[in-house]
Every structure is written in C-alpha cells, then in structure tokens.
Amino acid sequence: MDSRIFEQWEANAEDYAVLVDGKGTPHHQKILNPCVERLLGDVQGKRLLDAGCGEGYLSRYYAQRGAVVVGVDISEKMIDICKQRSKEQGSEFFVGDICCLDFIQDSSFDLALCNLVLLNVPCFEEALKGFFRVLRFKGLLVFSVIHPAFNVFGPGRWELGGKCSDSGRRKGLYFVSDNYFDEKEYLIQWKTRVGAPFPKRFSFFHRTIGTYMKVLTRAGFRLIELEEPRPIDDDPFFERERRVPFFLVFKVEKFAR
C-alpha cells in the first residue's frame, strides 16, 4: 500500500464524503454518472467490484439495481463511512489497495467499476492487471478519469473571465494546455463544500490517452467504448463543460483468458 496516497485520502475522507453528499457532485450527477450507468449496462444479478469506492454512493446505487457489490478502498475512514451509509444493503466493503487485489479470487466478478480513481493511483498498470485477473472472461471494466487532454488537475487550466449572471460561475475564455506528454504527478489543493482547503493536497498522476490505451491492451483488455460525456441538460453552470470535455470514460472487456 502506498502510504502517501493512503494518508491523503485518510486525512480528506470526511470532507470528501460531505462533498459528494451520498449522490456525487453536480459534475458527477449531470455529466459522468449517466454515462457510466449506460456503459455498465444491466447490472441485475451481476457481481460488481467497486474499486476505490469512496463513501460508496455508487455501490449503493448499483446494489439497489440488483448488483451484488463488493467495494474496496485504500482509506479506512472512507470504508467506515461506507459501512455506516450502506447498513441496509448486503454489499461488502474492504480496506484494500486496488494495486494489490490478492485477497480477491480469480474470475470472481462480472463487472468492475473504477470511477475517478486510477488518476490518483501511481501503480495503475498493477491495478489493470488485478482487474483483469478478478474479472471473468468477457467481464467488463468501466473506468473514468479527468480527460487527459484537458486535465485541470494536470497540465491544463481555463483562462477565466468575469462571473456569469445566470450561473454565478466565472465564464471560460479559452482552455490552455501544455506539456501533455510530460507524465508526472501533480499535487492539487481542493476546496471542501464550504470553500475551505482540504486538510491534505491530493496526488493526481497525469497520463496520456495513448498510455491508457497501451497499458490496458497490454493487460489483456480490448476497448469497447470510449466516451467524452457531455452535460445532460443546458444548465448554464456547465457552459465550460459543453465546450471542452471534463471526463473521459473507458469501457473495456477482458479479452484474453
């Protein structure tokens, strides 16, 4: 287990749980989650691994739709919150590192979901090898990251104008990106729901789309769909996200045995 990443998420777990508020942020609800749900397809009766489950709102959502869910997260505090919030459900939650899934049996899952986690993980090739091992043949992995080409937690940022009167959010003038090929770690300070800094900065590992493709192919997956989800409605708040994609979502299949 990477102690530095563990310490970041352990220190930030409670504020993160408040931020997602049992349902995800507006970006999750209006851009990412509908896309992930479509890519996962019918989960009824399927065994689903929620890798890096956080406070577990997606685990609960898919358990309510009939999946048998196992959630794994590196943070003990996050798993405690998960268990408290998921009491009525039969889902199981474990503290564990997705880069070392030795405690999970081979070919024991139909589906793996890794939502906004791989970009926080230094050892993502090990994670993909682990997902390959624990999925059955033809099992599906859906994973999302911040879009690497427009990575606001990496080498990109918006040049901002004044506040938009409709949304209260600053208007995007244009997006600046540079050093795309420089794959490295960025330490990012996030704000909590009340606008205070999180106790610790988060590590974000920038990788190119080419690297994601190479590594997942090398692990034995093949690409089924690649999505750059757009906001589901014309909420003025998402003026920037209608112009430049915020997330990138992969649906891949365990292709080799």
Ligand X SMILES: C[S@@+](CC[C@H](N)C(=O)[O-])C[C@H]1O[C@@H](n2cnc3c(N)ncnc32)[C@H](O)[C@@H]1O
Q: Which residues of the chain form contacts with ligand X (CB under 6 A)?
A: 5, 9, 20, 52-54, 58, 72-75, 78, 97-99, 115-117, 120-121
Q: Which is nearer to ligand X, 99 or 219 (CB)?
A: 99
**Min separation Cβ 256 and ligand X, Å:** 24
What does DSSP assign to residue 104?
S
Q: List all residues 6 or more positions away from 195 whose beta carbon is below 8 Å from its beta carbon.
A: none
Q: Which is nearer to ligand X, 23 or 184 (CB)?
A: 23
Residue type present at position 131 = F
For residue 252, count other CB atoms closer than 10 A to its CB.
Answer: 28
Q: What residues form DSSP beta bridges with 2?
A: none
Residue type present at position 59 = S
**Min separation Cβ 95 and ligand X, Å:** 9
Q: Which is nearer to ligand X, 150 or 153 (CB)?
A: 153
Tokens representing residue 11 in the block: 């220190």
Q: How many residues does the chain have?
A: 257
**Min separation Cβ 78 and ligand X, Å:** 5
| Distance between CA atoms of residues 178 and 164, nearest Å | 27
Q: Quick check: 244 and 215 in contact, CB under 8 A? A: no
**Min separation Cβ 153 and ligand X, Å:** 10
Alpha carbon 106 to chain centroid distance? 23
Q: Which is nearer to ligand X, 123 or 164 (CB)?
A: 123
**Min separation Cβ 196 and ligand X, Å:** 18
Q: Quick check: 114 and 128 in contact, CB under 8 A? A: no
Q: Which is nearer to ligand X, 11 or 164 (CB)?
A: 11
Which residue minimizes CB distance to ligand X?
54
**Min separation Cβ 97 and ligand X, Å:** 4
Q: Which is nearer to ligand X, 62 or 238 (CB)?
A: 62
* 3-class secondary-structure state, position 86: coil
